[in-house]
Structure 1
């Protein structure tokens, strides 16, 4: 854990607030360039599903590829992925990165309701497609009006389009452009349950029922990345000091939910009690996560829990407390 400090008091501070539903969790706090990490019920090197914080990572890789000249914001998905002349092929990367492309949350061809019921009843992974299956589903999609609308499908396609522009798979894009330069040794994109690392946790519902891991080649850019709290702390420090690739992804460029909530490339910025907070959260069948930054105060927080109950308000609260120390 080079450059990181284990702080049991940090976990104790959160334990009473999170309550019984979060008996296995980890936290990282970044203040003044220093990273403190702690865990309860799990070892510090345990790896968690980070859920839709994966979209934030895809946003960084998208911005980085734009800066390298490999892609441009005005390019369409169809210029990078073999989508033919379907409607999804016509949307621009910029619109997808801001959730304003008109793509639905999930493709109808994936039978999302049936999969949701299976998740609730049996704890099964509602994803698992490979890239070829994702592209086949995307070709059947009809676009909606281009108002802000959260889209898992959009970010699945965006990540693979960015990777194609770089001449890499998404897995290799994450490894070479993010993990290697930032020394993130536990952050990875498992394509199947058999690819999980030895420190992978099994997530549980808020009622304690075990859930299958959310893995899949297609899913990775939108919600399939896993990492330890130590690596998430390092990533947060890099976001604050500007050393992360594609750091411009954090900068808001469009309204997302009114003028008080704006969006960059996946990252949300909102005004909270007079301060700007840049953040993303994540939720899978058995995990919840939150990463937030007060960039003006050079302070950040990561919370990850091996249960699906939300940790959002606890993350906002801890970030506020740390900025007032």
Structure 2
């Protein structure tokens, strides 16, 4: 298939592009490189350095599908600067849907998020759970999910939204460069903990140790980026005209912040000093996915579900970057 990947120079989008190319697809990347990196894009893949708002100048009827990753993703930033997230995530996605409709592109896979669920009433979280985001980032993604559903009903688009839980780790191919997290600033726990282990940060802050969890710290469902990326290829094949399907992507296992730190210490063999801080507003105590629907309908099963493998691959990538 001929495919456009928006945000294809980013962390997750970059791994998906690599898998698509390896599977024989004809891939084009659109990325403004505000958070992505041009060196992530494989040789032979065309990179259009532009905003997703201008996607109409690239997308035409020769494309068989779009995988849409381009977005602002920092939940904390979305509270401080909600206008940035709405401009990119909502207005940019509407521009993409306009271009998809004009070019009659038949399929779309959308990068959504578990943030749409907010503080869950039940765990594990199913796709039918109450949607109550606690920050503008979650609301923007939920808004786009709704717009995609309406587009499918009104205009025959086939689409799948994949709701990610905590993506981590790195893609370590048999040949070629590894791909991992390179956010600036970094806001995710595992790469920050690796910074501390490597001596680039003095200590790691954990926010809250009085949650109703076994050790008092937040519990999250970590999914290996390579497993997550593989789900996108399965989703492309599962798209049906005029239908919008939604799937959670997680391991179904929760790991506390303290457990993550312990595994980082084990993998790196380094000390990781920890400082406890007050809870952050809006942080749920526990977020764990039910991915039963993805397993039954897409045939998707995570191949690297253990936290040790996730952290070890992240550390391998970290060391490869010096």
Q: TM-score range by the shorter chain?
A: under 0.3
| TM-score, normalization by structure 1 | 0.27
Greater relative contact order, per chain length (Cα 8 Å cut-off, separation 6+): 1
| TM-score, normalization by structure 2 | 0.27
